[in-house]
Amino acid sequence: MQEFERKQLLERVEREGATVGADIPETITVQGEEIDLRTFVFEIKRRETVPAGERDRVEQAKRNLRRERVERIEAIEEGDITREEGEELAQSIIGIDRGLNALENLGPTDLEREQKAQQAADTKRWMSFLKQALGREDDASSRRGR
């Protein structure tokens, strides 16, 4: 493969809209193990919320897909491959990205964490407001100054 072809492939997989119109691959080999990626993604997405036990599985799948993506990009960057092999790798990377996008956009997986963070932020704002309203900016700092 020529260097300019290699650069074209890398630019294509890094393009912002590369996954537009792309399908999630039916199966993909990740870390030597074949995964039914499309089935997995649709199985997870069709639920209203992702159960706690499944969250770990989803997070592990995302980590494995990211790792596989990096390895395939490195194969394009540094590998002694043909143009056809490079094309196949680029298409598989775009498919991985499509699957990752679908898994990243699962709102319910982080819903509880976001809710707890929102409640903590609300509590902090409320306490700050009360301290200001009662004229107690910071009890600890007034004690230190004595």
Q: Which tokens is 100 given? A: 């990752």
- Identify the band that residue 146 occupies on the pLDDT scale cut at 50, 70 and 90: very low
Task: Please report, as a single letter, which amino acid is at residue 42.
Answer: F
Q: How far apart are alpha carbons 94 and 106 in whole angstroms?
A: 19
Mean pLDDT for 113-121 is 75
pLDDT at 141 over 60: no
C-alpha distances out from residue 106 to 4, 49, 85, 103, 141, Å: 37, 9, 32, 6, 44
Q: Are 18 and 91 in contact (CB under 8 A)?
A: no
Residue ranges covered by each domain of the chain: 3-105, 109-146
pLDDT tens readout for residues 58-87:
888 889 999 999 999 999 998 889 999 999
∠ at Cα 128 (126, 134), nearest 5°?
Answer: 100
pTM of the model: 0.66
Q: What residues have CB less than 8 Å from 38, skipping those under 6 apart?
A: 23, 24, 25, 26, 27, 99
Q: How far apart are alpha carbons 122 and 3 in whole angstroms?
A: 54
Q: Kindly state the greatest CA–CA separation across the chain.
A: 76
